[in-house]
């Protein structure tokens, strides 16, 4: 930012910026850090309970499953984010250059695991079905 917004008399500009930064209170900085912590790209829990849906009369196992989801912002500096790919770094830089043209890298699953569900059908037959890529085991910036 300093490279693009540098004023003709760069020293004054720098002083001004420093002064404005120093005026920021310590409490607001703490808030900022906390906010960053919550908004950073990470895996969040989301449990779907078959039992609470009242489906235990046909689903034998499991009782439910931890679906998880990825949530958070992939913002600069990208190296502080979880599992950022090389492409995510390039995406971040292009976003910084043209924020309205190029989006930030997205927070998405980097590893997906399968689950299996054991259930009865209408004819009392039992089915074991595997569902691939159903559980986000880790998230990262893409």
Partner 1 sequence: PEHSPIYVDNHKGQTVAGEEISDVDRAEIQEDLLLLLGLHRRPRPAFQEVQSSAPQFLMDIYNSMVDDEDTGDLKLDPEGVGSAWKDFNITTVDKQVIDESDLIMSFINHGSKLFKELELPRSQLLWFDLTEVPMDENQLDTSLRVYQGYAEDALFDYQSVTLRIFQLIGGEGETRPDDIQLKEVGARVLEPGYVGWLTFNVSSAADLWRMFPHSNLGLFMEVTSEGGEQLVPGQVGLVDAYGEQARQPFMTAFFKQQQLKRPLPR
- Considering only residues 41 to 60 of the shown chain, the ones binding partner 1 according to CB under 8 A are 44-50, 52-55, 57-58, 60
- Is residue 126 a contact residue for partner 1 (CB under 8 A)? yes
Shortest spacing between CB 91 and partner 1, in angstroms:
24
Distances (CA, A) of 125 to 56, 117, 118, 120, 121: 15, 14, 11, 6, 6
**CA 141 to CA 82: how far, in whole Å?**
7
**CA 61 to CA 59: how far, in whole Å?**
6
**CA 54 to CA 62: how far, in whole Å?**
13
Shortest spacing between CB 1 and partner 1, in angstroms:
30
- Is residue 18 a contact residue for partner 1 (CB under 8 A)? no
Nearer of residues 1 and 126 to partner 1, judged by Cβ: 126
Binding residues with partner 1: total (CB under 8 A): 40
Q: Which of 34, 100, 43, 105 is nearest to 74 (CA)?
A: 105
Binding footprint of partner 1 on the chain (CB under 8 A): 38, 44-50, 52-55, 57-58, 60-61, 111-133, 137
């Amino acid at each position: 930012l300093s490279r693009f917004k540098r004023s003709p008399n760069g020293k004054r500009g720098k002083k001004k910026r420093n002064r404005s930064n120093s005026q920021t209170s310590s409490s607001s900085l703490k808030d900022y850090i906390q906010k960053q912590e919550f908004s950073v790209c990470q895996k969040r829990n989301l449990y779907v309970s078959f039992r609470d849906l009242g489906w235990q009369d046909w689903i034998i196992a499991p009782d439910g499953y931890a679906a998880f989801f990825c949530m958070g912002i992939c913002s600069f500096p990208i190296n502080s984010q979880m599992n950022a790919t090389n492409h995510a770094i390039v995406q971040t830089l292009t976003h910084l250059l043209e924020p309205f043209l190029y989006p930030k890298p997205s927070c998405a699953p980097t590893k997906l695991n399968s689950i299996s569900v054991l259930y009865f059908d209408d004819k009392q037959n039992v089915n074991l079905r595997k569902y691939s890529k159903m559980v986000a085991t880790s998230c990262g910036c893409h």
